[in-house]
Chain A
Amino acid sequence: MSAVNMAVDFGGIKMKNPVNTASGTFGYGWQFQNFFDVSELGAITTKGCAAEPWAGNPKPRMTEVPGGIMNSVGLQNPGVRAFAEESGPFLQDLSDKGTAVICQVAGHSVAEYVAALELFDELCPWAAGFELNVSCPNIAAGGAACGSTPNGAAEVMRACRPVTKKPLLVKMAPVRLPEIARALEAEGADGLTVINSIPGMAIDVHTRRSKLSRPTGGLSGPLLHPIAVRMVWEVANAVQIPVCGVGGVMTGEDAAEFILAGATAVSVGMASFVDPAAPVRILRELEEWAESQGVSDINELRGAFEC
């Protein structure tokens, strides 16, 4: 047990410590149960699900780049009903053990987000909150992400807000962050997850083909950590609602940077692919760091960076 109070309140989601997992890097939680006790974490965020199953993109879906990976999985998911049926018992148990379960919501249009969220709210009573992934291509808007403009993001939040009484978070695309964050706050978002993967490209110059099945993919990993820290700092300064920092957290010190930049919680992403027990290792390292700072409560360290 840490000498420092590690509990945080992430927009109404009570977390026994600030460590969360980034959606899409932690499956539905049970994939990791044989590597460590997942109930040690403050929260987990499950892979995005839509109202109906999505097949995802063709292969290749991933390519390694220096300091990270780039993916174009295309949010393959079994749909909320199958997710709730297959993973619900594990997630209910996790929730009973005091780990907040945050379910990510996927959609291609405002109507699809609403439909998915209605199902989540009905079928996942154990969920502590929901995270809207507004970075999916919006078919109705010609493929641009719903969350890539303040109006687009606000529209999704306005439509989803009445659907659930539970905390509603938004996973933010790495564009126009402060203004979109303010628009989401105005529409009743309880917290913001910053940032989603950054669009990138990798080309095989010999075949002249993309190294993925699509021209672009989402970059993640330690290569983008400093960008994510900057973006968390900008958002934390723009809004009153809490922020969860995501992007290339490999160590407790990486997590601590997010807290000092103003994040309330921190998600471990790609590190879990390399070392499936990374989230709990990072939690221990974060506790040691908090102790080393001579505080009694980790909340004292939020935004405590000095220039």
Chain B
Amino acid sequence: MPTPSSARMHDVTIVSNEPIASDVYSLVIKAPKLAEQIQPGQFVNIRVPGNAMSLLRIPLSYASADPVEGTVEIWYSVVGDGTRRLSQMQPGAQTDLLGPGGKGWNVPESCSRALLVAGGIGAPPIVCLARELSERGIAFDACLGAQTGEKLVGAGELEELGAGEISVSTDDGSLGLEGFCTEPASALLATGEYDYVATCGPEPMMAKVASAAHEAGAYCEASLERMMSCGFGACNTCAVETTSGMQGACMCGPVFNAEEVVW
């Protein structure tokens, strides 16, 4: 039989749940087994109690895991009723989640210099990957984008993790360059210094990054988001169109080889 999802049910306790930017929260949960297992780019599907009419879990990527403390840190953006209720959960509150799910980043052994490109709440899996690169001794630069400076997350963490250059762009120019982060990303890629690119953010942004990476001859991976019913390969709702047909983001992704995605 094909390989089932690595996801299992975990009971979790909220350690902290604080805003880190405008409408962006950092949620730290106690989940020892998950903290040991989860790999950069994978996701969890968390249950948010409090509304009997809202049944589905919320799929979220994570920013860091601490196997020693047994905790996992998740950054999420408040975009609807579910994430609003999640933002109101207090330390000590308990819930459960399914995870770790999906395929994460797969940085080639031969990678010498990486470019990381994140837009908005696409930052957490990128920060997570930066930690892996840092541990593996692979040099990297980063381009971060957000609607406004108040919504930008991840710059401090990327700096701490040893990013070479960090380019910040905001749509309104309130922080860094005015415009989309695809412009500095394309300029950096044109230098030909990168052999690996990782991107997560709005799909049009990732499509542009993928295209620029292709032109520069760099291998590019993209982390995609889809509406998802189950998160473990049973419902067929999170389909991503690829060169080998429709593939579920929960099992074949969320990280895909960007060359194989039909943008």
Contacts and interface: CB of A to CB of B under 8 A. Distances in A.
B4 A276 contact: no
**Secondary structure at chain A's binding surface: helix, strand, loop or mixed?**
loop
Contacts of A90: 1
A5 interface: no
Interface residues of A, number: 40
Contacts of B53: 66-67
A208 to B, nearest CB: 19
B239 A76 contact: yes
A277 B246 CA distance: 27
Interface in A140-179: none
Contacts of A71: 229, 235, 237
B4 A55 contact: no
A63 interface: yes
B56 A64 contact: yes
A62 B2 contact: no
A60 B2 contact: no
Contact of B236 (A47, A63, A69): A47
A251 interface: no
B4 A34 contact: yes
Given A34-B5, A90-B1, A276-B98, A26 B55 contact: no
Nearest to A77: B236
B8 A34 contact: yes
Contacts of B50: none
Interface residues of B, number: 31
A73 B236 CA distance: 7
B232 interface: yes
Contacts of B229: 62, 69, 71, 270, 273
A58 interface: yes
A56 B239 contact: yes
Interface string A18-51: 0000001111001111110000000000010000
B57 A274 contact: yes
A35 B9 contact: yes
A141 B2 CA distance: 37
A14 interface: no
- Which of A31, A55, A71, A274: most chain B CB closer than 10 A? A31
Interface in B211-263: 226-230, 232-241, 245-246
A68 interface: yes
Given A27-B234, A47-B236, A62-B237, A273 B56 contact: yes
Interface string B1-30: 110110111000000000000000000000
A45 to B, nearest CB: 13
Interface in A254-307: 270, 272-274, 276-277
Contact of B226 (A32, A59, A221): A59
B56 A274 contact: yes
B237 A272 contact: no
Interface of B: 1-2, 4-5, 7-9, 47, 53-57, 98, 226-230, 232-241, 245-246
Given A30-B2, A59-B241, A276-B232, 5 more contacts: A34-B5, A34-B7, A61-B237, A61-B238, A270-B55
25 contacts: A24-B235, A25-B234, A32-B234, A33-B4, A47-B236, A53-B245, A55-B245, A59-B240, A61-B227, A61-B238, A62-B227, A62-B228, A64-B55, A64-B56, A67-B55, A71-B229, A71-B235, A87-B2, A89-B1, A90-B1, A270-B229, A273-B229, A274-B47, A274-B56, A277-B9
A-B pairs, top 6 by smallest CB distance, nearest first, are A62-B237, A27-B234, A66-B53, A273-B230, A90-B1, A273-B229
Interface of A: 24-27, 30-35, 47, 53, 55-56, 58-64, 66-69, 71, 73, 76, 86-87, 89-90, 221-222, 270, 272-274, 276-277
